[in-house]
């Protein structure tokens, strides 16, 4: 029974077999989000890209959350993210 574990971190820790994955450029982030959230405004997509620092995994998780919680909308998600980050 084998398997793999994926651990993500912003800290550059030396793990055996670690791979460094880069961020998207801002344009790549916006293009990625436009494909997955086509009805959202471009200014909001840019803001989401900015607050998530263009990290592909963070963008992907945000898209999944937004699709599962459609009533919240992009603006509501950004406000929720900011308030949660402040309380941490």
CA–CA distance, 48 with 17 (Å, rounded to integer) = 31
Is residue 66 in a domain?
yes
pLDDT band at 88 (very low <50, low <70, confident <90, very high): low
Mean pLDDT of 7-31: 82
DSSP 39: T
pLDDT band at 4 (very low <50, low <70, confident <90, very high): confident
Is residue 55 in a domain?
yes
Is residue 15 in a domain?
no
Give residue 72's domain range.
26-87
Is residue 82 in a domain?
yes
pLDDT digits (tens, 9 = 90+) for 23-71: 999 999 999 999 999 888 899 999 999 999 999 999 999 999 999 998 9
CA distances from 16 to 4, 6, 45, 53, 71 (A): 13, 12, 36, 26, 42
């Amino acid at each position: 029974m084998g398997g793999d574990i994926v651990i993500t971190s912003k800290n550059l820790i030396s793990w055996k077999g670690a791979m460094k994955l880069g961020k998207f450029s801002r344009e790549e982030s916006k293009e990625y989000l436009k494909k997955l959230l086509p009805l959202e405004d471009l200014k909001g997509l840019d803001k989401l890209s900015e607050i998530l620092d263009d990290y592909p995994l963070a963008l992907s998780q945000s898209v999944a959350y937004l699709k599962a919680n459609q009533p919240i909308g992009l603006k509501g998600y950004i406000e929720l993210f900011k308030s949660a980050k402040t309380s941490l």
